[in-house]
């Protein structure tokens, strides 16, 4: 299971959809479409995106894999 972090590459706005796509093993485009479709439903989807953008750490590229 991979650590949930916003990637530094492949992001469109904040990297939240790209991070969720990596976590759940799907493409970032699929996750973005799911997010956009969910915005048609009532609920706090946009606020959740903003919260995840703030709370998820950015991926650290300088870290070495052991």
Assess whether pLDDT exceeds 70 at residue 64.
no
The predicted pLDDT at position 61 comes to 65
Q: Cα torsion at 47, 59, 32, 42 (round to 10°)?
A: -20
The predicted pLDDT at position 4 comes to 86
Q: Find the distance separating the first CA and the last CA of the chain, reported in whole Å.
A: 16
Residue 58, phi then psi, degrees to nearest 5: -75, 145
Verdict on whether the full-model pTM lies above 0.75:
yes
Angle between helices 28-38 and 16-24 (to 10 degrees): 120
Instruction: Pull the structure tokens for residue 8.
Output: 């530094």
pLDDT tens figures, 6-61 = 888 878 888 999 999 999 999 999 999 999 999 999 989 989 999 999 999 888 76
Who wins on pLDDT, 60 or 4?
Answer: 4
Per-domain residue ranges of the chain? 1-59
């Amino acid at each position: 299971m991979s650590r949930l972090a916003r990637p530094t590459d492949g992001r469109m706005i904040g990297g939240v959809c790209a991070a969720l796509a990596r976590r759940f093993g799907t493409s970032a485009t699929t996750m973005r479409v799911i997010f956009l479709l969910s915005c048609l439903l009532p609920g706090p989807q946009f606020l959740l995106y903003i919260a995840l953008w703030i709370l998820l750490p950015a991926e650290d590229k300088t870290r070495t894999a052991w």
